[in-house]
Amino acid sequence: MKKAIYITLIFGILISCSGDKTISEIQKYVNGIESRTDLNESVTEFNTENHNGEIAGGTLIYELTDKDNNLYRITKESSNLNDTILNYEFYYKNKKLIFAKVIKFSNNLSKFDTIVNSELYYKNGKLIEQINQKPNGMDSEYVKLLAESMAVEGLGTE
């Protein structure tokens, strides 16, 4: 009986250490991308107009690729008509999403507050860890689909 308990405990520790190792490997990969000087950054900008034709918001998309047009990172910064600001960072490895960071701010004139601050780690297309710094988190499947659609819609890989 004790032997079965010890085996179960060891197996549980190995599984948890494996997950921690994967997350630390992803963090190391992301930090490596940020320190590379051989990558090219391109910027695309879209403005949002209100019904009077005045600019009321917009989107900036930064794309980080190498000389062979392999995609490493997409950063999307959006401001909306409803006084929110959304910042997404998507990191890719071999054309697959491995890490996303989402920050959503309320930009109301009376208060500036962080609504969402989430980090999402993916392996083989599946969420392996989500860390929410605020009570409100992002739907991991929505984040993954947004990251995939941005990579497919002519940004970087195709």
Could you read off the pLDDT of 36-89 as tens digits, one per residue?
999 999 998 888 777 787 777 788 899 999 999 899 999 999 887 667 788 999
Supply φ then ψ for residue 104, to 5 degrees: -120, 125
pLDDT value, residue 154: 52
Q: For the chain, how many structural domains are there in total?
A: 1
Residue 17 located in a structural domain: yes
Residue 158 located in a structural domain: no
**Contact assessment for residue 58 and residue 85, using Cβ atoms and an 8 Å cutoff:** no
**pLDDT grade for 25, boundaries at 50, 70 and 90:** very high
Residue 1 located in a structural domain: no
Residue 3 located in a structural domain: no
Tell me what the mean pLDDT of segment 120-132 comes to: 91
Residue 4 located in a structural domain: no
By residue range, what is the domain housing residue 36? 10-152
Q: What tokens were used for 42?
A: 């391109």
Query: For residues 80 and 1, what is the distance between their CA atoms, to the nearest angstrom?
Result: 60
pTM: predicted TM-score of the whole model, two decimal places: 0.77
Residue 118 located in a structural domain: yes
